Amino acid sequence: MKVGLNLFFVPYRSLTDPFFQQNQQSMSINQQDVEFMQEAIALARRGMILNIGGPFGAIVVHQGSIIGHGMNRVTSHNDPTAHAEIVAIREACAHLESYQLTECTIYTTCEPCPMCLGAIYWARPARLVYAADRNDASVAGFDDDYIYREIQLLPGDRHLPTESLGRALALPLFKEWDAKKDKQMY
């Protein structure tokens, strides 16, 4: 008997356990949300199995259709910004020809890291739904919580040496921007 690998298999039970059901009620999660999360998880699994990147996947949904797919591509593209959420946001924005995702929902397999959370806020989706949390990621060796702690510190207190240089030279840029008549706010 030949056994094949189904790259898109997602154990349904994991999304219907009592903890998930409890959160469904408090977050107004519906069956379509479960199906979209299963799609994000399948995408993450596919990328992980194919050694494209870590166990992270994200999709962007607009009016019931997936318009952005992203799997983690950090290691395969040698790009520390190629997180699943960033990849999915870029694809969705290109699809909509807009830098904002105001009528969209982002589904991601894990609570977004600080970089991705920042990008999500900049994209302004209507909703964010995630599966695992930062503690789950930490157990698997992804310590996003370290970055969350670092960004709460003043720049001089962070582990990464950080200095301000040339503020007086940069401030006129903001005055020029403020006075610019044809600027597009974002």
Please give the positions annotated as active site. 85
The H-assigned helical ranges of the chain are: 12-15, 18-27, 31-49, 74-77, 84-96, 114-123, 134-139, 144-151, 167-179
Residues in the chain: 186
How far is Cα 19 from Cα 23, in angstroms, rounded to an integer? 6
Closest CA to 86 of 108, 64, 75, 70: 70
